[in-house]
Amino acid sequence: MRIIDETVLEDLALGAAVLGTGGGGDPYIGKLMARQAIRDYGPVELYTLDELADDDLVVPTAMMGAPTVMVEKMPNGDDIVNAFLSVGKYIGKPVKATMSIEAGGLNSVVPIYCAARLRVPMVDCDGMGRAFPELQMVTHTIHGISSTPFAMSDERGNTVLMETISNLWTETFARSVTVNMGAMAMIALYAATAAQLREAAIPGTITLAEEIGKVVRRARLEEDEPVETIREAVGGYLIFKGKIGDVERRTEAGFAKGDAFIDGLDEYAGQKLQLSFQNEHLAARIDGEFKVTVPDLLAVLDVDTGEPITTEALRYGFRVAIIAIPCAEKWRSPKGLEIVGPGYFGYETEYVPVEARYSQRRKRML
Amino acid sequence: MRIIDETVLEDLALGAAVLGTGGGGDPYIGKLMARQAIRDYGPVELYTLDELADDDLVVPTAMMGAPTVMVEKMPNGDDIVNAFLSVGKYIGKPVKATMSIEAGGLNSVVPIYCAARLRVPMVDCDGMGRAFPELQMVTHTIHGISSTPFAMSDERGNTVLMETISNLWTETFARSVTVNMGAMAMIALYAATAAQLREAAIPGTITLAEEIGKVVRRARLEEDEPVETIREAVGGYLIFKGKIGDVERRTEAGFAKGDAFIDGLDEYAGQKLQLSFQNEHLAARIDGEFKVTVPDLLAVLDVDTGEPITTEALRYGFRVAIIAIPCAEKWRSPKGLEIVGPGYFGYETEYVPVEARYSQRRKRML
């Protein structure tokens, strides 16, 4: 067990934004909320999965909806607490802890807020090892863990609970209600025991995010090359540098969808990268050819500061570096690719692990 | 207490279809389901509100969605039972009985199906005295009774539960989920004690429907004028006779909406009636002028048989008589008209009780 205090929080939020591949909610708002909760209620205990008893029940908490909306409409905190408590009450058993369902700006820190306010511990793991736009897209689904009892709450005091026959049905119903709630809702779902999570979850994500954040912070202080430092810390590949040209956006069925078109700079001059997103960055095409796709990660970083840029912050003129990061191994199974592979999102291409495409090239460049 | 057996059911379904003002679901399918349940599980006990103890808990059951869809997609029965049991389980107290939330083809008999299968009694009352398209449109809302805990279930085994801050929010969320469930769902809602219902509900609706049905059946056997017989039985006014010309329909946000244009026959020759509907018949304009609007009832009857015609059955060429019936007194209060008056549905006209417009004329005609 270790403690998440304000300092840890800063690093964690920064690192989680890298893993969040542009999604998982605005990291700034999430950080503010969690920091205030830590100030008001004290720091949070972070347990590893091994430190829990087999039948300890863990209920993840998260934000659902379009991050573009969250910039203007903040959660009020009671909504998070309501969703978490509703699942516990429905199950009728004590809930030991909460956890992140995804690594990403807001969704790495929402559970910290919940944990601080209710004085329950948090577990060092998540269900994606990154962020994904739909709620069935977690390693829990690969392992047959149900998303229900599922609870979603808004800032007005409304709560909707579900018992569904599949995690895709939960996504379908919850997405509609999210739109009704103002394109954003706070959710609690995927209740599971520590024993189940040792099989199904991706361990150590919070610590990994914190470490990435720490490295970036130091690189900035020392004016070291932050992009290269991040690339090394995450074990990724630099695939592009360029200036954002056009950004096409649409808020569709509660998602922030769109494409950014990036004109190459330096050694990438003359090339054009098309970055497709749905809450998260999902695929990168260079000159029309798919180079990196889900489930591998795409981090879009400010070329000077290394600051991760969320999908809703993409703007004309930003100079960015794009890093591709290998996804968690679980996603590369046939079942994993069925849930989050390029085909699910409608991209007509086979999944090729990023290492297969870039490790050779990287060696040449070094 | 009295018994609802197959014979009662026939009359009840017919009479409820008159009160259903074209909505409340297809009466034929509802009757088939309830009849089978009575055959399989035995007849149903019908209690008056006065026969219940003050704190006996009653949970209404109903179908929600577009009746146009139900013609092709039948409920499977487990969905009704799941919704009813989910509310009881959530409340954690024994539920004494079920009841109709609205008078209407299917929704008068859905509770009979539920009561037969689960061997619980049914109560002789409803929340509308007619049918209305949205779920906050019940006399319970006038009396401050919450629609939640609300449960909705589909035939696949999915259940969605809600705790909301207003009945309008329940309607909003539930309408979206209904669309996801295939434009139709089975629901349980408005849990209330017998003491509350003695204030809030409209008593005797089941018996009234049965009596209307009985009268119509006899009129048909005796080849008496069924339309006039129905008009007398319901205390209504004949406002039009004509042949249906154009019918414009759209399924919108889970509702069956539209307008039928009816060309006058006999003494109405040369006049044109526009009948507007949203699951139920809501307003009648003659030659462009509003004559009858919600909350008063509009029954569209086959001119020869007196058979009530549902909104989804309106077709070119049908010869119909249109009867206007005064609504329950509760709806004529300012709070009632706010919930179900013409303004709520976007009709730019004041509500004028049907008696005020037609009683004089009727006297002249007699």
ipTM of the complex: 0.84
The pLDDT tens digits of the residues spanning B117-154 come to: 999 999 999 999 999 989 999 999 999 999 999 999 99
How far apart CA A16 and CA A217 sit, in angstroms, is 13
Contacts of B177 in chain A (CB under 8 A): 173, 176-177
User: Across the interface, which of A156, A160, A173 has its CB nearest the CB of B180?
Assistant: A173
pLDDT category, A361, cuts 50, 70, 90? low
Q: For residues B207 and B124, is the Cβ–Cβ distance under 8 A?
A: yes
Q: Give the ranges where chain A is alpha helix by DSSP (H).
A: 6-19, 27-41, 67-70, 78-91, 105-118, 139-142, 167-180, 194-200, 205-221, 226-234, 334-340, 354-365
pLDDT category, A252, cuts 50, 70, 90? confident
Percent of chain A's residues with pLDDT above 70: 96
Q: Per the CB < 8 Å rule, is B162 touching A158? A: yes
Q: Per the CB < 8 Å rule, is B161 touching A163? A: yes
Q: Per the CB < 8 Å rule, is A163 touching B163? A: no
* B212: contact with A, CB 8 A cutoff: no
Written as one letter, the residue type at B286 is I
* Residues of chain B where predicted confidence (pLDDT) is lower than 50: 362-366
**Structure tokens, B36:** 């089978």
The pLDDT of residue A292 is 98
Q: For residues B25 and B104, is the Cβ–Cβ distance under 8 A?
A: yes
B246 CA: distance to closest CA in chain A (Å): 34
Contacts of B172 in chain A (CB under 8 A): 180
The pLDDT of residue B68 is 66
Contacts of A172 in chain B (CB under 8 A): 180
Q: For residues B83 and B108, is the Cβ–Cβ distance under 8 A?
A: no
B304 CA: distance to closest CA in chain A (Å): 45
Q: CB-based contacts of A257: which residues, under 8 Å, 6+ apart? A: A249, A250, A251, A277, A278
Q: For residues B328 and B200, is the Cβ–Cβ distance under 8 A?
A: no
The pLDDT of residue A366 is 40
Percent of chain A's residues with pLDDT above 90: 80
Residue of A87, A136, A160, A187 best to disrupt the B interface, most CBs of B under 10 A? A160
Contacts of A159 in chain B (CB under 8 A): 162-164
Q: For residues B35 and B74, is the Cβ–Cβ distance under 8 A?
A: no
Contacts of A90 in chain B (CB under 8 A): 90
The pLDDT of residue A264 is 97
Average pLDDT, chain A: 92
The pLDDT tens digits of the residues spanning A47-78 come to: 999 999 999 999 999 999 876 677 677 788 99
Task: Please confirm whether the linkage preceding A295 is cis (ω < 30° from 0).
Answer: yes
pLDDT category, A253, cuts 50, 70, 90? confident
* A177: contact with B, CB 8 A cutoff: yes
B301 CA: distance to closest CA in chain A (Å): 38
Contacts of B253 in chain A (CB under 8 A): none
The pLDDT tens digits of the residues spanning B275-300 come to: 999 989 999 999 999 999 999 999 99
* A159: contact with B, CB 8 A cutoff: yes
Q: Is the pLDDT of residue A225 over 90?
A: no
User: Judging by DSSP bridges, how do beta strands A44-47 and A122-123 pair with one another?
Assistant: parallel
The pLDDT of residue B366 is 40
The pLDDT of residue B361 is 53
Q: Per the CB < 8 Å rule, is B161 touching A164? A: no
* Nearest by Cα to A154 from A87, A59, A81: A81
The pLDDT tens digits of the residues spanning B7-17 come to: 999 999 889 98
Written as one letter, the residue type at A158 is N
Q: Per the CB < 8 Å rule, is B176 touching A176? A: yes
pLDDT, mean of residues A86-96: 96
> What domains can be seen in chain B, in order of their start residue?
2-205 (3.40.1610.10), 224-365 (2.40.390.10)
Q: Per the CB < 8 Å rule, is B173 touching A177? A: yes
Contacts of B90 in chain A (CB under 8 A): 90
Q: Per the CB < 8 Å rule, is B165 touching A173? A: no
* Nearest by Cα to B205 from B106, B301, B104, B278: B104
A184 CA: distance to closest CA in chain B (Å): 13
Listing DSSP states for B213-277 in one string gives HHHHHHHHHTT--HHHHHHHHHT-EEEEEEEEEEEEEEEETTEEEEEEEEEE-GGGTT-EEEEEE
* A168: contact with B, CB 8 A cutoff: no
- Residue B120 sits at the vertex; the CA angle it makes with B119 and B125, to the nearest 5 degrees, is 135
The alpha carbon torsion through A211, A215, A217, A220 (nearest 10 deg) reads -170
Q: Is the pLDDT of residue A223 over 70?
A: yes
* B168: contact with A, CB 8 A cutoff: no
Q: Is the pLDDT of residue A83 over 90?
A: yes
How far is residue A108 from each of residues A34, A61, A71, A362, B3, measured CA to CA in Å?
10, 9, 17, 31, 59
H/E stretch holding B197 reads: helix B194-200
Contacts of A181 in chain B (CB under 8 A): 173
The pLDDT tens digits of the residues spanning A137-188 come to: 999 999 999 999 999 999 999 999 999 999 999 999 999 999 999 989 999 9
H/E stretch holding A245 reads: strand A237-252
Distance in Å from the first CA to the final CA of chain B:
39
Contacts of B179 in chain A (CB under 8 A): 176
Q: Is the pLDDT of residue A213 over 70?
A: yes
* B78: contact with A, CB 8 A cutoff: no
Q: Per the CB < 8 Å rule, is B160 touching A158? A: no
* B160: contact with A, CB 8 A cutoff: yes
